Amino acid sequence: MIVPMIKYGFLVYHRDFDSFLLRLQELGMVDIVRQSRTISDGERSLIAQIGRYNQAIKELSTRQAQGDQEKAVDPEAVLAEYESLVKEKEQVENSIRKSTKEMLDVKPWGKFDVKLISELAARGLYIKFFVAGEKAMSEFPLDEHPVEIIHTEAGQVYFVWIQHEEQATLAVDAVELKAPTYSYVEKQAEVDGYRLRSEAINNRINVLASNIPLLKQKVTDLSNQLEFNSVQLSADRQAEDTVMVLNGWVPEPRNAEFVDFLQKENIYYVSEKAQKTDDAPILLKNNKFARLFEPIGSLFTSPIYGELDLTPLFAPFFMMFFGFCLGDAGYGVVMLIGAQLLKRKMPKLRSILSLVQLLALATIIFGTLTGTLFGVSMVDINLPIIQKFKDLFLEPSQLFNLALIVGGIQIVFGMCVKVFNLARMSGWKYSISTIGWLILLIGTAVIFGLSQIEGLGVELFGLAHKIILGVAVVGIFLFNSPGKNPLINVGLGVWDTYNMATGLFGDLLSYIRLFALGLSSGILGNVFNSLAFGMAPDIPVVGAIVTAIILVAGHSINLFMAALGSLVHPMRLIFVEFYKNSGFTGGGKLYQPFKKE
């Protein structure tokens, strides 16, 4: 259900406004009505700071924290040092890449003294560097020229030519290279130095990782400040900016507590109960069972304030649909046990895991009804206890019919919800048209069922059926748009009849997916069983290992894919077919009180 809301308007003297907001934020009860406005420079600055801290936390979380004894107390200093180290690390890594390339370029020349080469050139002895192909060098008379081969690699010969003329040329097909200004050894030492600095930076960043809680607390403080500024700027300034007007919503169950707070603060206020047409925030309050399904409903949208919360109404259907789609008792047992084990390791996900266990129970029930256990049809198992219940297992044709029956029930149930919702929001006369359709559908179904019983004398389009049709037609054609011209109502009724006739048929056929998914998961499980026992080699130990691997891997894949389909397709049936037939509007805003994190 949707918790009723109380709308408040506050009048606060401007000098007391900030202190009032601080106490209001500490109370954490009021959902403030925000004004549509441009984000201020202060808010932009806070958002940018939060982004910087979150980025640092994200990257530091991947590090192995070191140096707990060096934990800092100033988060801004930690962030500044971290960002400086990251920037320096990027520069060092660029230098490593550049120096490594330069080192590889001079590697063929080995160890040499750059200064000595310059001194020889100053005295008129020039050393030139060349590279040529091995074929060209094999034809070159090395003994006749002052040439020294330094290195040969990948068909290339690196050599130097010593001569007295700077502009002299060598009669060989070779490429002259620019004389290196550094040696391989020098560059290697340079790269090693950069790597040492990079390692030191990484170690220092690892030390900073121990300050993640401090950074997270700073993010919380900044978020609270951002929220405070947002509310502060949402106030309407009156009486030459001396009076601040602020509006908000408070859940009715906490209204008495909030009134006591306002009286102690000596704040002038006005309040009224929210009307169905108000854009009040949505706070859901359901029983333990329905509460587990609230995350499912939130994936689509929240109801508006005036309409019904459909969570407790679709919860049993969703549970049943999931079991119908997965339909394997073995998979249900695995999910049930797995969720129970994970509850101990993941207490924060306890409610989600409880939902998984409910869905697992539904899977076990439907798997038992269909006689499917890890892809094995229990009908084929020759055990007396199983054969005793053989006739109770549902056949594919029965599952097909059951899917259509369940779909029809949910569609009619959705229309009943629509009747109540329309009556609640707009008045009973707006729901008469839908009541007419319910009379038509349910009445025709009852007449058809009774006509199949011999001796009752009930038949389709008999007197009783015609009376039902007459009552339904009046509601459908004369009350579909109360207050309008009767001729317009008749025209709209014809259009509504066309949409209903085509829409209901399409909606009903959509529920066949329940049957199809349940059948496919069982077939795939059986295929993996056949592969496991058919492909295993006829070697005692090896065969058992191969069989086990195929069974575990195959059924894991099938369980994942089938569970995913069993989650998505029931959601589709709920959000499309059920929501449409129940007249669900949606688009509500969740209750988000102004509070400190």
DSSP per-residue letters across 504-529: HHHHHHHTHHHHHHHHHHHHHHHHHH
Per-residue pLDDT tens, the chain, 597 aa: give them.
899 999 999 998 888 889 999 999 999 999 999 888 888 888 899 999 999 999 999 999 888 776 555 667 889 999 999 999 999 999 999 999 999 888 888 888 877 777 887 878 778 888 888 888 877 777 777 777 788 788 888 888 888 888 877 677 777 788 888 878 888 888 889 899 999 999 999 988 888 888 889 999 999 999 999 999 999 888 888 888 889 999 999 999 999 999 999 998 888 999 999 988 888 999 999 999 999 999 999 888 899 998 889 999 999 999 999 999 998 899 999 999 999 999 888 888 899 999 999 999 999 999 888 888 888 877 777 776 666 767 778 888 888 999 999 999 999 999 999 998 888 888 788 888 888 888 888 888 888 888 877 777 777 788 888 888 888 888 778 777 776 777 777 777 788 777 777 888 888 889 998 888 888 888 888 888 888 888 777 777 788 888 889 899 999 999 999 999 999 999 999 999 999 888 888 888 999 999 988
Phi-psi region of 440 (alpha: psi -120 to 50; beta: other; left: phi over 0): alpha
Question: Measured between alpha carbons, how far is 465 from 454 in angstroms, rounded to an integer?
Answer: 17
Tokens of 382: 């020759």
Question: Measured between alpha carbons, how far is 325 from 363 in angstroms, rounded to an integer?
Answer: 8
The pairing of strands 268-273 and 372-373 is unpaired
Total number of residues shown for the chain: 597
Give the pLDDT of residue 227: 92
Question: Measured between alpha carbons, how far is 144 from 50 in angstroms, rounded to an integer?
Answer: 74
How many helices and strands in the chain, by DSSP H and E?
A: 21, 11
Give the pLDDT of residue 210: 87
Q: Is 258 helix (H, G, I), strand (E, B) or coil?
A: helix
Q: Which residue has the tokens 């029983």?
A: 287
Question: Measured between alpha carbons, how far is 24 from 593 in angstroms, rounded to an integer?
Answer: 10
Question: Measured between alpha carbons, how far is 205 from 85 in angstroms, rounded to an integer?
Answer: 7
Q: CA separation (Å) from 571 to 178, 246, 295, 574, 576?
A: 70, 39, 12, 5, 8
Q: What pTM did the predictor assign?
A: 0.78
Tokens of 536: 């295993």
Helix (H) or strand (E) holding 267: none
The alpha carbons of the chain give a radius of gyration, in whole angstroms, of 39
* Residue ranges in 426-481 assigned as alpha helix (H): 432-451, 463-478
Q: Are 326 and 570 in contact (CB under 8 A)?
A: no
| Nearest alpha-carbon partner for 393 in 422, 419, 368, 365 | 368
Give the pLDDT of residue 564: 93
Give the pLDDT of residue 69: 55
CA atoms within 13 A on the CB side of 134: 6
Question: Measured between alpha carbons, how far is 343 from 340 in angstroms, rounded to an integer?
Answer: 5
Give the pLDDT of residue 546: 85
Give the pLDDT of residue 276: 85
CATH fold for the domain made of 1-37+235-281: Alpha-Beta Plaits (3.30.70)
| Nearest alpha-carbon partner for 579 in 297, 175, 262, 279 | 297
Residue 370 backbone phi and psi in degrees, to 5: -90, -10
Q: Is 72 helix (H, G, I), strand (E, B) or coil?
A: coil
